[in-house]
Amino acid sequence: MLFTTIDGHKIAYRISSVAGHGKPTLLCVHGSGGDSSVWASQFSGLAADCTLIAPDLPGHGATHGRGGYSIEDYASWIEAFAEALGLHRFILMGYSMGGAIAQAMAHAYPTRVEGLILVSTAMRFVVAPEYLKVLQKDFHRAARASCDSAYAPGVAPELYHRGLEMLLSNGGQAMYEDVFACTQFDATAWAGKISVPALVISGNHDTITPPEAGRELAEKLPQGDFMPFAKAGHMVMQEAADGFNSTVRHFITSKGEPS
């Protein structure tokens, strides 16, 4: 892990190599209650093709502070993070809540983003009120329920347990605030104005953000392309890592032009 500061707060992030040297920069944003470790398979599989940078959002992982951000505030935070690292233009890859943040970032700061990779995400999220209540009253139960829903049938046990440990280590407050922020997000009025090339990736077994929502998002984006993975769930970048990385590699090496 490396560290920088934003407004006096210590920010943790992972980086695969020094940005520049002719390689595109891929800025990766994790999802609700998570941290930058969700991108481990991309750091090991894509480092030869691009410079990957993945921060821990405020109150997550090793980053100081607390969450409680709206999706739009998180997008502003990503802008400040990019400024702190001297990143001027980059491809932005966001997973789940991170995909919402990426949409908001591309909408609010269009000169920063040269392409979007939106993973297991949507223009709006449907969250059962009962789940929010369980998050407040019994976080361990909620975390297990989240992992039960996040993976396709037959997932490798180590992936499941790694995901559960990540959620538990980041805590119930971060998870609740992130999920609540997702309930307030709605990009349907402006997603069609995001003009950069975009790749939307979904797992066909995703019960948290169904692939239909990903397809709807891709169709709304002027340069959107949709790629479903047949044997993956919500954690598609881990469950189908090789195919996922190959798809991302094609997108970034073709300079973001949809296939």
pLDDT per residue as tens digits for the range 190-213: 999 999 999 999 999 999 999 999
Q: Report the candidate in 4, 26, 11, 54 with the shortest Cα–Cα distance to residue 116.
A: 26
3-state secondary structure 216-256: HHHHHCCCEEEEEECCCCCCHHHHCHHHHHHHHHHHHHCCC
pLDDT for the residue numbered 259: 34
The residue type at 139: F
pLDDT for the residue numbered 112: 94
DSSP assignment, residue 207?
Answer: S
Exposed (0-12), middle (13-18) or buried (19+): which is 81, by Cβ within 10 Å? buried
- Domains parsed from the chain with CATH numbers: 2-253 (3.40.50.1820)
Phi and psi of 134, rounded to 5°? -65, -40
Residue with tokens 């951000």: 69
Question: pLDDT of 24-80, one tens digit each?
Answer: 999 999 999 999 999 999 999 999 999 999 999 999 999 988 777 899 999 999 999
The residue type at 188: T
pLDDT-derived band of residue 255, with 50, 70 and 90 as boundaries?
Answer: low
pLDDT for the residue numbered 258: 38
